[in-house]
Amino acid sequence: MMKIRQLGRSNLEVSTLGLGCMGMSTSYGAPQDKQEMIRLIRAAVDRGVTLFDTAEVYGPFSNEELVGDALWPVREQVKIATKFGFKLKPNGEAGWIGLDSRPEHIKEVAENSLKRLKTDAIDLFYQHRVDPEVPIEDVAGAVKELIGEGKVKHFGLSEAGVQTIRRAHAVQPVTALQSEYSLWWRELEAEVIPTLEELGIGLVPYSPLGRGFLTGKMDATTTFESTDFRSTLPRFAPEALKANQTVIDLLGDIAKQKGATPAQIALAWLLAQKPWIVPIPGTTKLHRLEENIGSVKIDLTADDLRSIDGAAKKITVQGARYPEKLEQMTGR
């Protein structure tokens, strides 16, 4: 039975685990068959998942269209999160050429996303990356206007730094921050998580399974297609994969004790950190979806958490999580 969580002190209630839909259309090899992905998204709804994550830049556009087509028959049961903030290449070409969070652009993106998502309101509208050219107060103000018009219900930020979060929240309350957070990316713990707790903002971790690494299915011999985003990431170079294997060994040991999988332990660890954390693991396979959902039932004791924490702290994860150009767009 899927449980429910509240994102911070907002009134946005969602399933304890959401579903990240990006990989169905882009970044992890060739796009998946659309009808199969529609069936997978509806299977997630049948199993109690109510938060679905997409963005206009995924594809671009095709992922929002997929999510819209999959969810319109069950729209009343679910919450859809999408994102704005990239300047896209012309004519629907894949990729982007920069950032653009000008208020007029935010409003244009919202109108187009609403059409693709086949809905009259976006439940959670994130700024995808902080745009240094546009004051965050102007961004928050534009979303506030969309909320006033009923086109958006909640405002979110993605990969934002503490000062940006505070400044945005003062103009329009931020419901959720989406950022990478997992056993092998814990930088949020120093400043960001305490700030979210203080302000009553939820956390939606993406890549909670380390882009597949924490499932235990990779090693130094793993290779990626050129169309797979991970082929460009320093953390997935063979020497880094080999060095980071100790994280997997640790998860595997605890998983054996609990009759679970490493992926389930990695998700259960995240869920145990705070009651307002809602991870959004992505998948294109039904058995993985079911495995991920199984993590909700796993209770890690204080002793389990201490041993995971103690072992994880001894491991220095090797390799940056992004190439430099993308890394510069985080934590602003």
CA–CA separation, 109 vs 250, rounded Å? 43
pLDDT in tens, 220-235: 899 999 899 999 999 9
**Which residue from 118, 166, 175, 116 is spatially nearest to 143, judged by alpha carbons?**
175
pLDDT at site 307: 85
pLDDT at site 240: 85
Angle subtended at Cα 180 by Cα 194 and Cα 127, rounded to the nearest 5 degrees: 85
Helices 245-258 and 262-273, packing angle to 10 deg:
90
193 residue type, one letter = I
Residue 309 resides in a domain? no
Residue 166 resides in a domain? yes
Residue 308 resides in a domain? no
Tell me the residue range of the domain where 157 lies. Answer: 4-210+274-300
Residue 215 resides in a domain? no
Quick check: is 206 catalytic?
Answer: no
pLDDT at site 16: 98
CA–CA separation, 192 vs 163, rounded Å? 10
Give the active site residue among 28, 58, 181, 206.
Answer: 58
CATH no. for residue 185? 3.20.20.100
Total of domains in the chain: 1
CA–CA separation, 174 vs 169, rounded Å? 5
CB count in 10 Å sphere of residue 34: 15
pLDDT at site 220: 86
pLDDT at site 316: 83
**Whether residue 60 has a cis bond before it, omega within 30° of 0:** yes
Q: Are 116 and 90 in contact (CB under 8 A)?
A: no
120 residue type, one letter = D
CB count in 10 Å sphere of residue 220: 13
pLDDT at site 161: 98
User: pTM score, two decimals?
Assistant: 0.97
CA–CA separation, 230 vs 120, rounded Å? 35
pLDDT at site 244: 85
**Where is 289: in which H helix or E strand?**
helix 286-294
The DSSP call for residue 185 is B
* Structure token pair of residue 155: 């405002």
Residue 234 resides in a domain? no
Q: What ranges in 72-223 are assigned the alpha helix state H? A: 103-116, 136-148, 162-171, 192-199
pLDDT at site 247: 84
**Which residue from 184, 185, 205, 203 is spatially nearest to 193, judged by alpha carbons?**
203
Residue 256 resides in a domain? no
Reduce the DSSP state of residue 148 to 3 states and report it. helix
CA-to-CA separations, 318 to 185, 241, 329, in angstroms, rounded:
11, 8, 20
Residue 71 resides in a domain? yes
Q: Which residues pair with 28 in a beta bridge?
A: 228
Averages of pLDDT over each 10 residues, the chain, 332 residues: 95 98 93 97 98 98 98 98 97 92 98 98 98 98 98 98 98 98 94 98 97 90 91 90 86 93 97 98 98 96 90 83 93 94
User: CA torsion, points 13, 17, 22, 23, in degrees to nearest 10?
Assistant: -170
Residue 329 resides in a domain? no
Task: Detail the DSSP E strand segments found in 137-263.
Answer: 152-158, 174-180, 202-206
pLDDT at site 26: 93
Q: Are 234 and 319 in contact (CB under 8 A)?
A: yes
